[in-house]
Amino acid sequence: MALLSGAVLALPGTAAHAADTLISQGRTVTASSVENGGTPAAYAVDGNTGTRWSSAASDQQWIQVDLGQSATISKVLLQWEAAYGKAYQIQTSADGTTWTTVYSTTTGAGGTETLNVSGSGRYVRMNGVTRATGYGYSLWEFQVYGSFGSTPPTCDTANAAQGKAATASSTENAGTPASAAVDGNTGTRWSSAAADPQWLQVDLGSVQQLCQVTLNWEAAYGRAYQIQTSADGTTWTTVYSTTTGAGGNETLDVSGSGRYVRLYGTQRGTGYGYSLWEFGVHTGGGSTVPPVQGGGDLGPNVLVFDPSTPNIQATVDQVFAKQESNQFGTDRYALLFKPGTYNNINAQIGFYTSIAGLGLNPDDTTFNGDVTVDAGWMQGNATQNFWRSAENLHLKPVSGTDRWAVAQAAPFRRMHVEGGLNLAPSGYGWASGGYIADSKIDGQVGNYSQQQWYTRDSSIGGFSNGVWNQVFSGVQGAPAQGFPNPPYTTLDTTPVSQEKPFLYLDGSDYKVFVPAKRTNARGTSWGAGAPQGSSLPLSQFYLVKPGATAATINQALAQGLNLLFTPGVYHVDQTINITRPDTVVLGLGLATVIPDNGVTAIKVADVDGVKMAGLLLDAGTVNSPSLLQVGGSGPGADHSNDPTVIQDVFVRVGGAGAGRTTAGMVINSNNTVIDHTWIWRADHGAGVGWDVNAADYGMLVGGNNVLATGLFVEHFKKYDVEWSGNGGRTIFFQNEIAYDAPNQAAVQNGTTKGFAAYKVDNNVTSHEAWGLGSYCYFNVDPTIVVDHGFEVPNTPNVKLHDILVNSLGGNGQFNHVVNDTGAATSGTSTTPSNVVSYP
């Protein structure tokens, strides 16, 4: 049964096992959260039934104990306080990252539960799934019983820190550097400034299992200090703590793992600083976690062509035949073309397919032919041509005009079309897109039936007609401002832009180019020659391939590697944590990340310059608080010089199957740039229904001075976008209110009818947006009314330009456009109600 299911290996009982020895008391313990400073995790293993650990008041909380070495586990005792777990698991792990469930229940009764289990591991955790009360999880005691092997692992006598890179919070002078504490010479020393706190840390080069730390103090020692470990040099775990340090030579037995080890001093023993002749770190007591390797091949779903490759057309046709109508399938492809000239090519692009050139400049890779998206699979209707992309190619269309008839999540980036570009399907059927950036179209862009479109930092030969909402920023050749007739919103420049990182060939070596940030940008980033930016070798990337685990991905990040997701679908059981400034995370072929157990799929710390692009985040069946979180719980540091940029990162809730999340994206880092996203609560496909793919908010913005360029958000149950940070700007917003509301009561917002599509909170004093559109189509109850599509505070520095609402076929209506301004929609004519400027 264990081999087949691995789910429930034991049932609770009271019979004692002969080998039942308490092995967890006093061990290192960590938890997902604590209620407050008086309920730390350590209180659950201190043997005192009058102290307790308690978590935050939310589900998906855990507490885990490090036994110091692998043990055979025979029993777990949970002594609950009144706030207990109704559904929880007992899990074991050899490394603290990959877990095996040895007990599971959905009917926990609280009190004292004695669970006879069978398993082994160094780490044991209680993984809470559902609380029984409105409080958190709370344990007086968490006791693990079992036995260790007869011969405990030995501690290596060699000093793993010697000769490694060391840094410190300060140095007393140039003669006492951090490196002197790890040089093996007891006649040299590190000493700090005479202040608290101070620290010294060493980088071991890879994640190691630690068993001992030795401190050879000079006369200026630490009275209160901690020994801490970290996988990434940012998030620290305390493995030893004292307030009675005596100086001299101290040998400390510790248990933990990490790449970085630091002494963190909080109280000096003298009036001088902290001073160490030697800082020793010893490893052993468990297996060393091997480092993740960077570089390698691009995986099975990346097809690379050069001009001599045989049967190129047949190969791309095979991919298209598989992907043309594969809207919710799991296949993912990237078609990459080396620099050169390709003749007689018509690459038709279906779902989850990316096509790109591998030159540093689009003109390095020339097609005497086309890259085509049409809508034959949907009888000429292009409104569902999602999730595909074209990048970094020079096209010479056979007919003189290339066809790119797409809807949302289908970027056209860094392209040179030597001719025209038709955005409509053949037959000029319905179309609902789309996005162009950093591209040069020599001829005219034919908008035709596209309801809305956004073009950024490009050069075009002209633009024909418009339907409801066509927006341009930084576009040479853009039509003049004309909203609402014609429906053009034109900004001369884009305030901040940084083009998407891309894979290219430097000779025979793959590299990732990271373009430089531009301010007040206009035109392409590459038209004047070599683009500005930096190149990163593939050896600095962990190439994520199908089968990769979140634990390995996080280990790679902790080692300082960037991430290149090859085409595939990746299920993660823990949050992917990006904590290093300027980390690059790039997906190929719409690589898809799905959280399996209610975690946030990806979190970005409040650091400078993270670049994330080319991913689809798909909600799992257990509700996640969000699928992407950037920053902490609120605004932090100023990142204006080196902002985090999120590009072509799409969110989906439902469609491929039931999924749930409270919010799609949460953006709390200041100065973040969101450049083209589609955040979609599915209105069709599998797992769709008002209470099936439940999701309240599309995007919540708490950071200050956040910029969104090309923002598509649709169908969420409450606000599709809610902005609480100051200084926000949006250039182009496309929205559809949730179709499937069962009745007016389901969307009643206090005394207000319906939730606005775009809400700026009352506390916000500055915000500006251009080219915004929201549509309603209540197909379950067409009598539903929304009071206003946009809701903002009435203050001089909150300004909206070129705004519209529309009722599609009269299925529901808007009473106003912004607040109580703007005429109501009415009838079935699908005619927008417009406001040119507010206030």
Question: What are the catalytic residues?
Answer: 736
The residue with tokens 């420049």 is 493
CA atoms within 13 A on the CB side of 742: 6
Find the angle CA(338)-CA(344)-CA(345) to the nearest 5 degrees.
55
User: Could you write out the three-class secondary structure of 447-482?
Assistant: CCCECEEEEECCEEEEEECCCCEEEEECCECCCCCC
Dist. CA 96–CA 101, nearest whole Å:
13
Buried b (16+ CB within 10 A) or exposed e, 461-490: bebeebbbbbbbbbbbbbbeeebbeebbbb
Find the angle CA(679)-CA(683)-CA(687) to the nearest 5 degrees.
100
What φ, ψ does residue 554 adopt, rounded to 5°? -70, -35
From the CA atom positions of the chain, what is the Rg in Å?
29
Tokens representing 816 are 């106003």
Number of neighbouring beta carbons within 10 Å of residue 732: 29
The residue with tokens 């902005």 is 723
Sequence-distant (6+) residues with CB within 8 A of 678 are 386, 408, 409, 650, 651, 712, 713, 714
- Beta bridge mates, 334: 302, 354
Which amino acid is present at 625?
P
Dist. CA 703–CA 711, nearest whole Å:
16
Sequence-distant (6+) residues with CB within 8 A of 835 are 800, 803, 804, 817, 818, 821, 822
CA atoms within 13 A on the CB side of 666: 22
Contact between 316 and 348 under an 8 Å Cβ cutoff? The reply is: yes
Q: Which long-range contacts (CB under 8 A, 24 or more apart) does 317-324 make?
A: 317/348, 319/350, 319/353, 320/347, 320/348, 320/349, 320/350, 320/353, 322/350, 323/350, 323/351, 323/352, 323/353, 324/348, 324/350, 324/351, 324/376, 324/377
Helix (H) or strand (E) holding 789: strand 785-791
Compute the Cα dihedral for 100, 102, 108, 109 and give only its sign: negative
Q: Which residue, 745, 739, 732, 757, is CA-closest to 818?
A: 757
Q: Which residue, 586, 588, 548, 551, is CA-closest to 566?
A: 588
Contact between 238 and 228 under an 8 Å Cβ cutoff? The reply is: yes
Dist. CA 393–CA 476, nearest whole Å:
20
Dist. CA 361–CA 394, nearest whole Å:
9
Tokens representing 279 are 């800082």
Render 81-141 in DSSP notation, one character per residue. Answer: -SS-EEEEEEEEESSSSS-EEEEEES----SEEEEEEEEEEEEEEEEEEEESSSS--EEEE
Dist. CA 488–CA 766, nearest whole Å:
24
Contact between 464 and 474 under an 8 Å Cβ cutoff? The reply is: no
Q: Which residue, 266, 274, 286, is CA-closest to 212?
A: 286
